[in-house]
Structure 1
Amino acid sequence: MDRSTDGWISGLIGVVIFSGSLPATRVAVEAFDPLFLTGARATIAGILGLALLLAFRERRPARQDLLPLAIVALGVVVGFPLLTALALQQVTSAHSIVFVGLLPLSTAIFGVIRGGERPSPAFWVFSILGSALVMGFALSQGLSASPMGDGLMLGAIIVCGLGYAEGARLSRRLGGWQVISWALVLSLPVMAVLALVYWPATFADVTLPAWIGLGYVSVFSMLVGFIFWYRGLAQGGIASVGQLQLLQPFFGLALAATLLHETVTPVMLLVTVGVIGCVIGARRFARRALTKALATGAT
């Protein structure tokens, strides 16, 4: 199996894991304050990440890696979880999941800025088309239900794309699980304090589904998924493998419909099918980006 194919397989596993994040967050915020949820999930994952680093006796990151790790932490440990938790208080997970279709474009843009990739013009056509389909859906809803919720989701997509690209760049040198583990450890003191400050007065009313949601986003969304995802981005190319995120709404909508019994409209399905089609076209024109990135990734 060549490096690119292995990267795509790892990336796909990461996307499948991430697809449960928004439905799980939606369930969790029904019982937990968004700020507590953000702090708690990062604290739990940070403790697990620290245990992994100690168990494998990993060396500390070099000084020049600290700022990139901080960017990863701000993007995927703090920014995306907090913004999506706040958004999901105002919109359904089915509605928010469609915005995930913007993640490939956000990741690709930051892949150019931070990862040194140079996708072809045809790649950008497919990537922008997929994003346009997502935004067309949002506009078709009139944004009347919750403009604030949609704004928070857009902000989450931007910071997440930055965290993905920065983490993938570091993974070429440090390794995928090491990057997310160090980012979690770096943010652990702040996130632990956040969890303590917003600690609920009682857990008596917390339902079992809410506990399961907290457990899922803590272990799988914050740690396990990133092990596969960063490995995939590093091996297959940030822009190329990043297009797999267009599949995430499909998996997420299925979970929202089956587990949360949320309504999935025909328009949502059409948008999802459209953005899935875009990943096929974008994949064909992203190979040059991987060659360029691997040539410059160590610099």
Structure 2
Amino acid sequence: MDIRSIFMGLAFALMWSSAFTSARMIVADAPPLTALSLRFLISGLIGVAIARAMGQSWHLSRGQWRSVAIFGLCQNALYLGLNFVAMQWIEASLAAIIASTMPLLVALLGWLFMGQKVRPLGIAGLIAGVIGVAIIMGSRFSGGVSIPGLILCGIGALALAVATLTVRGASSKGNVLMIVGLQMFVGAGILAVAAMLTESWQVNWTPRLGLAFVYTTLVPGLIATWVWFRLVDRIGAVRAATYHFLNPFFGVAVAAVLLSEQIGVADIVGVVIVAAGILAVQLSKVGATAG
């Protein structure tokens, strides 16, 4: 793996993980579903405009439209929507840790329901992931964590894992930005309806809200997605996915620095174990691919 690929992987993990901290800032001053719907609308417009300027087409294949619909619903509306709502009650670091278990959920669901083989190293990684999450949750429960918030984050991670398994292997055929932009429109539409039914327009306009919204829209929303697909093109999806093991570290670190969230010894131990589990699962896939 070359230096440029390593830098891209680190950058993607940091941008992805930082989204939870910026989301926490947003929901402190604005209704979560309304803010997220607006973010998707803006990101989608920018993404589609850039895609058209690059010559990409919105005349997609049936498989590509299926990808747009599934990821628009599961990733944008359910996964991110539920996380935004949950972060009204739970800390960004905890939301990042729960979301980081998605590769473990993908491996587990594929093993249990789709007959996908998991090597011994992968099984060890799944067990380590469960142990790490149990350690973190045990510590947080004693501190009075929000149960509804945890449930929403868990459902969101499960929805993203299901979507990943459902459309695994779908080819973008050069239409990466167009597909990403259209997925954001799907999420924007679904969340706009949900926001009109459940939220009122009450916004506390602050500089922090503005900066967090712009950052979330451009960096995790568009730049991180672009970097991810470029990384996949360079080293393949399986090897690129190994960088997910950094997400718990970065998610906790960014929240501690920018939001002054308290991190205990149990959190650190649990994060290390979860990260090791994610790495083991991904390395087992790399070994299987090489074999």
TM-score of the aligned structures, taking structure 1 as reference length? 0.81
Cα pair distance change 1:185/1:98, threshold 3 Å = closer
Offset at residue 221 of structure 1 (A): 1.9
When residues 123 and 13 of structure 1 are mapped into structure 2, their CA distance, relative to the original with a 3 A threshold, is: same
Distance 1:138 1:126 in 2: 18
Aligned 8 A contact 2:77 2:190 in 1: no
Shift, 1:125, TM fit: 1.8
Q: Is 1:151 the counterpart of 2:151 in the alignment?
A: yes
Aligned position for 1:15: 13
Q: Output aligned runs, 1:63-212, within 5 Å.
A: 63-109=62-108, 118-142=117-141, 144-165=144-165, 169-171=169-171, 173-174=173-174, 176-190=176-190, 201=201, 205-212=204-211
Aligned-residue sequence identity (percent) comes to 20
The within-5 A match list for 1:241-260 is 241-260=240-259
Shift of 1:163: 4.0
Residue 145 of structure 2 aligns with an amino acid whose one-letter code is A
Structure 1 residue 115, shift from structure 2 partner: 10
SS of equivalent to 1:19:
helix
Determine the C-alpha separation between the residues in 2 that align with 1:84 and 1:105: 18
How many residues of Structure 1 are paired with residues of Structure 2 in the alignment? 289
Of stretches 69-78 and 9-18 in structure 1, the one that deviates more from structure 2 is 9-18
Structure 1's 159 and 280: CA in aligned 2 closer, same or farther, altered over 3 A? closer
**1:41 aligned to 39, 42, 47, which one?**
39
Letter aligned with residue 54 of structure 2 = F
Whether the 8 Å contact between 2:23 and 2:84 is mirrored in structure 1 is yes
CA–CA separation in structure 2 for the residues paired with 1:89 and 1:268: 20
Could you tell me which runs of 5 or more consecutive residues in structure 2 were left unpaired when the two chains were aligned.
Answer: none
CA distance in 1, matches of 2:34, 2:48: 21
Mean Cα deviation higher: 117-126 or 216-225:
117-126
1: CA distance, partners of 2:289 / 2:113: 14
In the TM superposition, residue 234 of structure 1 has moved relative to its aligned partner by 6.4
Distance 1:31 1:73 in 2: 25
Contact kept, 8 Å, 1:40 with 1:191, in 2: the verdict is: no
Structure 1 regions of 5+ residues with no counterpart?
Answer: 293-299
- C-alpha separation in 1, matches of 2:111 and 2:67: 15
In structure 2, relative to structure 1, the CA distance for the partners of 1:125 and 1:235 (3 Å cut) is: farther
Q: 1:202 to 1:276 in 2, by over 3 A?
A: closer
CA contact (8 A) 1:42 1:184 kept: yes
- Do the aligned partners of 1:46 and 1:181 also contact (CA within 8 Å) in 2? yes
Partner of 1:227: 226
Q: Which amino acid aligns with 1:271?
A: G
TM-score with structure 2 setting the length: 0.83
Letter in 1 for 2:13: V
- Comparing 230-239 and 206-215, the one that deviates more: 230-239
Out of 20, 26, 29, which is 1:28 matched to?
A: 26
Displacement, 1:52?
A: 1.4
Task: Give how far 1:186 is off.
Answer: 4.4
Q: Specify the alignment match of 1:297 in structure 2.
A: none
Structure 1 residue 233: Cα displacement:
4.9
SS of structure 2 residue aligned to 1:263 = coil
Structure 1 residues 223-232 or 71-80, which shifts more? 223-232
Q: CA deviation at 1:146?
A: 1.1
Aligned to 1:296: none
Q: What code does the residue aligned with 1:32 have?
A: A
Deviation at 1:259, TM superposition (A): 0.8
